[in-house]
Structure 1
Amino acid sequence: MLATRDEVSEMMQQTSFEAYKVIRRSGDVVAFEPGKISLALSKAFIAVQGGEAGASASVRELIAALTQSVVQALMRRKPEGGAIHIEDIQDQVELALMRSGEHDVARAYVLYREEHARQRAARHEPEVHHALNVRYEDGSVRPLDLGRLKALIASSSLGFDSVVDQKILLDETLKNLYDGVPVEEVRKSVILSARALIEKDPAYSQVTARLLLDTLRREVIGEEASHEDMATRYAEVFPRLIKKGIEAELLDEKLALFDLAKLGAALDHGRDYQFGYLGLQTLYDRYFLHVDGTRIELPQVFFMRVAMGLALNEIDREARAIEFYNVLSTFDFMSSTPTLFNSGTRHSQLSSCYLTTVQDDLDGIFEAIKENALLSKYAGGLGNDWTPVRALGSHIKGTNGKSQGVVPFLKVVNDTAVAVNQGGKRKGAVCAYLETWHADIEEFLELRKNTGDDRRRTHDMNTANWIPDLFMKRVMEGGNWTLFSPAEVPDLHDKVGKAFEEAYTRYEEKAARGEMRVAKTMPALNLWRKILTMLFETGHPWITFKDPCNIRSPQQHMGVVHSSNLCTEITLNTNDQEIAVCNLGSVNLVNHIRDGKLDADKLARTVKTAMRMLDNVIDINFYPVRKARNANLKHRPVGLGIMGFQEALYLLRTPYASQAAVEFADESMELVCYHAYLASTELAAERGAYSSFKGSLWDRGILPKDSLKLLAAERGGYLEYDDSERLDWAALRARIKQHGMRNSNCVAIAPTATISNIVGVAASIEPTYQNLYVKSNLSGEFTVINEHLVNDLKARGLWDDVMISDLKYFDGSVSRIERIPQDLREIYATSFEMDPKWLVEAASRRQKWIDQAQSLNIYMAGASGKKLDELYKFAWVRGLKTTYYLRTLAATSAEKSTGQGGELNAVAVNAAPDAKFCAIDNPDCEACQ
């Protein structure tokens, strides 16, 4: 005997399986028993390895682990219980054997299944019993309405007749049903059956989404309604759903003042069919409002509710709400997650990012931690500047003792982020920043290590290194670097450029004379090496550059940028009286490509509407803390970004790793920024300039591109940038001089991980991660396949089951699939297959136009100290303000198997233990977007 059922049950901590049943091929339903999986595995091993396998302790342990793996895979597919077809169980057994490397046993198991299938066919045994009765919510039992099921599949396949096999989809659905099945299991079965086919063709992603819509309509409306019915039903149910939300005290009562009939008539049911499965499931799980677990929003109701919330203060509310609805529901522009969560609700916290500076006393430290908790509660991402807090060993005048430094307080910050998550919808997220001259910097670099004293580790928060230009010069020139406690060098925190350099040099001279309590001198190159080593080993701290963030800041007359935010794209001033706030949203570049080029006119219209929406957030927003409200109303910063950059390159037939892509990055960002700044000055003409406009770079006629000259003058070398431009910036300067700006800052490129999932495009400015993989996020696991690649392969007659197997085998890469033409290999090269300098070059072109920064992930295959050293120096010389994650290893890999196809988990998630990816989502961080 090998692993027994009792042993397996004990191993899985006595999990209860009462909610699960097994459907036999005859249609009979029996209890789910993991022990039978163990028994089947035992027989397979004995068949290949002989009877001695039964005496092997290692084989027994392996079978127990494989059983656990199979059971967990099945449970993930149906977390709430339900019936599982015997074939699905056997598919998972087969996959588990392959993944474990037991290829001989797996092959024997496959042959065993095929032989028994042949025997059943010879005996003419039916695979599925179709005479089914269904149990409905009211307790009644009626025959399965096969006609409606077929009609649903046909409607969901609309437009995909040439690729979707409706018969296979119907057969797979029926296979998982049994007599007396609850009606909700019927709905789940058809969705899961379509979902399992996504790897066959991307069209199945949209089909799955449409099937999910059918379930959603039933839940929200309370009765069956087809997609075709919604052409009239949307207008009918919209007022009722808004009123239901108000009555449930979820929605703002002001929404009832809108002309709901007019807005309902503007809803376009056809836009429901744009969604892919990942996008709609994400909305269903985390965005749609619900009362006692029952959703009260459909997709177009959701988008209109968000639009209404943003139009509350408009004079012609209905017209503006429809304008906002149109850019959201067509996916031309998408607001950030907090705005989508909360717009139109009673707690309309719509902002994405909050930046704080922590004061150097106990009251200030714990006030900052309290503020973190309040801001996180309503879905804000946090960036904390900890540089003012005195270092380890510094003198404490009030107690005549010595300080423990920054690190113990960061442990409290870490645990607060875990305890106070974002409204129960996703994990709390915070990033701590420390300047490179702070005496605690060496210990700060080690915060994310998995070794050492765990009381001085922060495993759940992010860290970033705020690096002054002087440090980079010392690294480049082989000079020394001295660490200080801010208690003894209080002015360094607020100085930048040449002023910082002069003050820092004076403090070094004092330290050399022995006049500083806390000071440590070392070769700058040694500290730089440790920075890069920790970045490689732990993915933190991120490398961000203090001086370009400040010298190019339009608001330098009002203070200092002391840190960036959680995702390194926001660069706003902070102090003890102001918490910087930024409101985000992103333009979908894919929707603005027409006839092989950017549609500049459409882009201008989208940006103009988007900037109005973002500006409205500032006045409507619910501010959890007073400091945030004061800062946001005073300076009115917003952050318009982009997403779908990679898909835009696909449409332009341009490889990411090319000069043409760099030029497109330049052209597209110039257009976005030009129209964003134009929209802001037009808003200023209508509504007035922001109150601190006087004295800003805007006021002085210095636009973001012009500020590069300021950086060059302060840095005194080490700056290389392209100075070209295409548009009439002189006319824009004159207009700003006349009307001012409505917003102190306008543009920032955020990661967009979640909202790009909703829209169904590549996140932000990211290159393609893999052409076929499984994405894991808070809504589950989703097969992601590159639709553009599939379409190109179809056009050349290359899309078939062999190609699917090849993509799996080569981890979603096309570079080693010989029958794919070279031009397609270049266009569809993945993130780890290109020189990361192309990413930096494109980012440098964007950065010259942007008044804030960009979330720039670095992908590097075969990382080494030399490569990291060269790349991050290159990023600094190219004028980048910040960088984000260093991704040195892929976080998932396509399963190298040759299954029969169609298995949902045929592409497996295999997180490498040293993969440098955000813990919240692989491979994309979705903590704040």
Structure 2
Amino acid sequence: MNIPVSNNALIVLEKRYLKKDKEGKAIETPEDMFLRVAKHIASADSLFAGPFDIEKTEKKFLKLLTNLWFLPNSPTLMNAGRRLGQLAACFVLPLEDSMDSIFETLKHTAMIHKSGGGTGFSFSRIRPEKDIVLSTAGVSSGPISFMTVFDVATETVKQGGTRRGANMGILRVDHPDIESFIELKNDTGKLNNFNISVALTDSFMDALSNESDKDSEYDLINPRTEQITRRVSARKIFDAIVHSAWLNGEPGIIFIDRINRDNPVPELGNIEATNPCGEQPLLPYESCTLGSINLSAMVSGKAVNYKRLKKTIHDSVHFLDNVVEINKYPLARIEKMSKGTRKIGLGVMGFADMLIKLGISYDSEEAVTQAEKIMSFISEESKIASAALAKKRGNFAFYKGSIYDSPDTPYMRNATTTTIAPTGTISIIAGTSSGIEPIFGIVQTRRVLDGKTLSDINPLFIGIAKSEGFYSKNLLDEITNGTSIQQIDAIPDQIKDLFKTAHDILPEQHINIQAAFQRFTDNAVSKTVNFGPDALRSDIAKVYMLAHTKGCKGVTIYRYGSRDHQVLSIGAEKKDSVKIAPRPRPECTVGITERMKTGCGNLYVTINSDDKGMCEVFAQMGKTGGCASSQIEAAGRLISLALRSGVSIEAIMKQLTGIRCPSPAWQNGEMVLSCPDAIARVLNHRTDSSFVDSTAMMGVCPECSGVITHQEGCLVCHSCGYSKCS
């Protein structure tokens, strides 16, 4: 079996997906992993009546995976055929206006995070701040205070050694606390385990669109009493959303009434929340199983191979329906709802690479047409595949009363079949572009274990450069050194158009592509609309209104450089163009002191952190005074300065590790070479989750120091596969 995975993919697989022994060493190959997954998912066939050939199904699924034509969401790759067995990526839990409901949901959230899933909530049912609490004659603390509780709980579960938890917090635009919610993440140190979105209603959008009255107002409603508390200007609230998004990319927005018009099972209730990246609206206690087709692998020559695509769609629907059946759900209520609707979300990755192979610029009307054509085909064939499964296995349990309950559609196995989900990590495994995003860059920099960096140039670009005759070593050196291909005269204009990156594409075209896919997607579309650093608030407002007009179900934007302390950027910087200043030291820090044996005596190293991560280092010898102590103090001050200036912890440790003095010492079976070497060891011991979160917020990957990108509503590192959402 020869799986065409790249070196980058191997790094990601070994770090996140392959089975490991007690020492953390991988004990299975990528081939073993795919065989494990195919075998386990195929075994679900045996749970249904009638003739079946599990071996045939296993071979079919194995072909899907090993050809990298389709990959399921990360929990399926990680957990299929293993003890945990939790295969779904996303869940939504209910929150009612009572302590019992809130803390029951908090418990369930911890269970889901422990199993590897992400959670979404609507806090809209919780009474507003300072509202009456009848049982105590006191006042309510409001929904935002409870979001903080959920954030702390998520952090605690994560620190317990489990896979990172991710949350989506949603508040309706007509909730009385909406102004506070909108500004909640203007301080980037808050709620690092949450994405937040405002649920915009039709009545709000109608008020906002009332051109005859620029100060048109709408009602804020107390969810406890269902009474109007006050009226506010729709324009004022919209401008506040735009301003906060301009500041740091949050909150996102979802069009909640539009989502509910597409609710396939309206008799079960209204949809109030989505998964952490916003592309999967779900009812309370529903989960969704996601997977993506590699569109780049669906191209033969200069055309889409629709025969291969059709077969891949049908096999993928079979695969995902089996996942629903064989999944080990974290709660019985989730199992009942998930098997009741059997929602699956078949999406895509590699759309940008597919366009390049077809010779179509992402920034063109032809790209929009191609998006509609591809997604309409996937939508139609996935419904045909689901209906065929229903004939053999039966309709989903809540079929009666659903939108399919008619003589025209007597069979449907899955209440939804399509979702465009984030593919940050699985697209690295597949060696293709993420989701429906444009390519991020022509050059990808990879950090390897010895601290070196390797630069890989997009293989599609290399192939075209050679075939078109403009390939040269000087060209590669120029691109590797950070020059945009848009500035290189040797590259033909049509090739420059073909390889436009995310920041070369106008925001309006981002929306045009998103809307094209949304027209043929049951659930929603995960995508980031990229803006340059000089974008105006009015530019963002225009995109929001365009998204509403064109039928999108939500929007996530990111203005490049808007996160505080973003220390890495696209392309090369002039040497004198960036002046780095450390963030101020707060009045209060928390820390821990570790004793290290050195040849000069015991060294006591204190590492303190603030809400953005490690911020300072103090070191003191047991014997005070002298030249050694002054040098240790100077080292601590410089390390502290570097930490508060956003320098990666790995870079600091690399400079300190291995420095020798004449008197090394032994501690715990390891030789401590010097005081700086001892400090490096303590830094390594104390690299904690708070530092991981803060570096990610700064635009730096906390695991490899690569560039963090904002794609598909999430923070993703293309070098090592780190994702803040999975």
TM-score (norm 2): 0.76
CA distance in 1 between partners of 2:175 and 2:283 (Å): 20
Report the Cα offset of residue 925 of structure 1.
Answer: 7.6
Aligned to 2:184, the other structure's residue is in SS state: coil
Report the Cα offset of residue 465 of structure 1.
Answer: 0.9
Task: Flag the 1:782–1:742 CA change in 2: closer, same or farther, 3 A.
Answer: farther
Range with bigger deviation, 598-607 or 442-451: 442-451
1:884 corresponding residue in structure 2: 556
Q: Of 530, 536, 539, which residue of structure 2 is paired with 1:867? A: 539
Report the Cα offset of residue 885 of structure 1.
Answer: 4.2
Aligned to 1:295, the other structure's residue is in SS state: coil
Aligned to 1:433, the other structure's residue is in SS state: strand
Q: Of 287, 293, 302, which residue of structure 1 is paired with 2:17? A: 287
Report the Cα offset of residue 546 of structure 1.
Answer: 0.3
- Tell me whether 1:404 sits opposite 2:137 in the alignment: no
Between structures 1 and 2, the one with greater strand share: 2
Aligned to 2:43, the other structure's residue is in SS state: coil
Report the Cα offset of residue 474 of structure 1.
Answer: 1.0
CA distance in 2 between partners of 1:295 and 1:459 (Å): 30
CA distance in 2 between partners of 1:548 and 1:390 (Å): 25
Report the Cα offset of residue 869 of structure 1.
Answer: 1.0
- Tell me whether 1:835 sits opposite 2:572 in the alignment: no
2:397 corresponding residue in structure 1: 691
Q: Of 245, 249, 252, which residue of structure 2 is paired with 1:535? A: 245
Q: Of 29, 49, 52, which residue of structure 2 is paired with 1:298? A: 29
- Tell me whether 1:277 sits opposite 2:72 in the alignment: no
1:466 corresponding residue in structure 2: 199
2:594 corresponding residue in structure 1: none
Give the conservation status (yes or no) of the 8 Å contact 2:260–2:271: yes
Task: Flag the 1:393–1:782 CA change in 2: closer, same or farther, 3 A.
Answer: farther
Report the Cα offset of residue 808 of structure 1.
Answer: 4.1
Give the conservation status (yes or no) of the 8 Å contact 1:429–1:927: yes
Report the Cα offset of residue 698 of structure 1.
Answer: 1.8
Give the conservation status (yes or no) of the 8 Å contact 1:379–1:423: no
Counterpart residue identity of residue 303, structure 2: K
CA distance in 2 between partners of 1:640 and 1:896 (Å): 40
CA distance in 2 between partners of 1:880 and 1:887 (Å): 20
Count of matched residue pairs: 579
- Tell me whether 1:382 sits opposite 2:119 in the alignment: yes
Give the conservation status (yes or no) of the 8 Å contact 1:684–1:741: yes
Q: Of 299, 320, 342, which residue of structure 2 is paired with 1:614? A: 320
Counterpart residue identity of residue 316, structure 2: A
Q: What whole-Å deviation, never above 9, does each CA across 1:302-336 have from its counterpart, x for those lacking one? A: 10100111012224222211111110011000011
1:53 corresponding residue in structure 2: none
- Tell me whether 1:844 sits opposite 2:574 in the alignment: no
Aligned to 1:312, the other structure's residue is in SS state: helix
CA distance in 1 between partners of 2:313 and 2:448 (Å): 30
CA distance in 2 between partners of 1:572 and 1:428 (Å): 18
2:169 corresponding residue in structure 1: 432
Counterpart residue identity of residue 571, structure 1: P
Please list, as runs of the form range in 1=range in 2, the aligned pairs for 1:130-529 lying within 5 A after superposition. 268=1, 270-271=2-3, 274-292=4-22, 293-314=24-45, 315-421=52-158, 424=161, 426-450=163-187, 457-477=190-210, 478=214, 479-489=216-226, 511=228, 519-529=229-239
2:622 corresponding residue in structure 1: none
Aligned to 2:238, the other structure's residue is in SS state: helix
Task: Flag the 1:777–1:358 CA change in 2: closer, same or farther, 3 A.
Answer: farther
Give the conservation status (yes or no) of the 8 Å contact 1:775–1:922: no
CA distance in 1 between partners of 2:552 and 2:326 (Å): 33
Higher relative contact order (CA closer than 8 Å, sequence separation 6+): 2
- Tell me whether 1:799 sits opposite 2:471 in the alignment: yes
2:426 corresponding residue in structure 1: 755
Q: What whole-Å deviation, never above 9, does each CA across 1:412-463 have from its counterpart, x for those lacking one? A: 1112222223994642211111111111111111222228xx7xx3233211
CA distance in 2 between partners of 1:431 and 1:476 (Å): 27
Task: Flag the 1:446–1:346 CA change in 2: closer, same or farther, 3 A.
Answer: same
2:625 corresponding residue in structure 1: none
Task: Flag the 1:893–1:843 CA change in 2: closer, same or farther, 3 A.
Answer: closer
Please list, as runs of the form range in 1=range in 2, the aligned pairs for 1:900-915 lying within 5 A after superposition. none
Task: Flag the 1:409–1:776 CA change in 2: closer, same or farther, 3 A.
Answer: farther
Give the conservation status (yes or no) of the 8 Å contact 1:359–1:389: yes
Please list, as runs of the form range in 1=range in 2, the aligned pairs for 1:538-687 lying within 5 A after superposition. 538-574=248-284, 579-687=285-393
2:631 corresponding residue in structure 1: none
Range with bigger deviation, 914-923 or 354-363: 914-923
Give the conservation status (yes or no) of the 8 Å contact 1:587–1:643: yes
CA distance in 1 between partners of 2:111 and 2:573 (Å): 46
Between structures 1 and 2, the one with greater helix share: 1
CA distance in 2 between partners of 1:658 and 1:852 (Å): 25
CA distance in 1 between partners of 2:448 and 2:376 (Å): 33
Report the Cα offset of residue 755 of structure 1.
Answer: 0.4
Aligned to 2:716, the other structure's residue is in SS state: coil
- Tell me whether 1:818 sits opposite 2:548 in the alignment: no
Give the conservation status (yes or no) of the 8 Å contact 2:715–2:725: no
CA distance in 2 between partners of 1:885 and 1:558 (Å): 32
Report the Cα offset of residue 557 of structure 1.
Answer: 2.8
Give the conservation status (yes or no) of the 8 Å contact 1:554–1:744: yes
CA distance in 1 between partners of 2:29 and 2:100 (Å): 46
CA distance in 1 between partners of 2:299 and 2:714 (Å): 34
User: Greater Rg, structure 1 or structure 2?
Assistant: 1
Task: Flag the 1:919–1:570 CA change in 2: closer, same or farther, 3 A.
Answer: closer
Give the conservation status (yes or no) of the 8 Å contact 1:808–1:895: no
Q: What whole-Å deviation, never above 9, does each CA across 1:374-407 have from its counterpart, x for those lacking one? A: 1011110111111111110111111111101011
Give the conservation status (yes or no) of the 8 Å contact 2:530–2:559: yes
Report the Cα offset of residue 373 of structure 1.
Answer: 0.8
CA distance in 2 between partners of 1:850 and 1:331 (Å): 22
Report the Cα offset of residue 926 of structure 1.
Answer: 3.0
Give the conservation status (yes or no) of the 8 Å contact 2:120–2:168: yes
1:169 corresponding residue in structure 2: none
Report the Cα offset of residue 806 of structure 1.
Answer: 2.7
CA distance in 2 between partners of 1:893 and 1:741 (Å): 47
Give the conservation status (yes or no) of the 8 Å contact 1:417–1:461: no
Please list, as runs of the form range in 1=range in 2, the aligned pairs for 1:763-782 lying within 5 A after superposition. 763-774=434-445
Task: Flag the 1:777–1:343 CA change in 2: closer, same or farther, 3 A.
Answer: farther
CA distance in 1 between partners of 2:316 and 2:343 (Å): 14
How many percent of aligned residue pairs carry the same amino acid? 28
Give the conservation status (yes or no) of the 8 Å contact 2:708–2:715: no
Q: Which structure 2 residue ranges, 5 or more long, are not aligned?
A: 46-51, 576-650, 652-695, 701-706
CA distance in 2 between partners of 1:778 and 1:864 (Å): 41
CA distance in 2 between partners of 1:779 and 1:378 (Å): 33
CA distance in 2 between partners of 1:521 and 1:572 (Å): 30
CA distance in 2 between partners of 1:778 and 1:560 (Å): 49
Report the Cα offset of residue 777 of structure 1.
Answer: 12
1:745 corresponding residue in structure 2: 416
CA-based RMSD of the aligned residues comes to 2.7
Please list, as runs of the form range in 1=range in 2, the aligned pairs for 1:38-117 lying within 5 A after superposition. none
Report the Cα offset of residue 482 of structure 1.
Answer: 3.0
Counterpart residue identity of residue 388, structure 1: R
Give the conservation status (yes or no) of the 8 Å contact 1:351–1:380: yes
Report the Cα offset of residue 776 of structure 1.
Answer: 7.8
Aligned to 1:324, the other structure's residue is in SS state: helix
Task: Flag the 1:571–1:524 CA change in 2: closer, same or farther, 3 A.
Answer: same
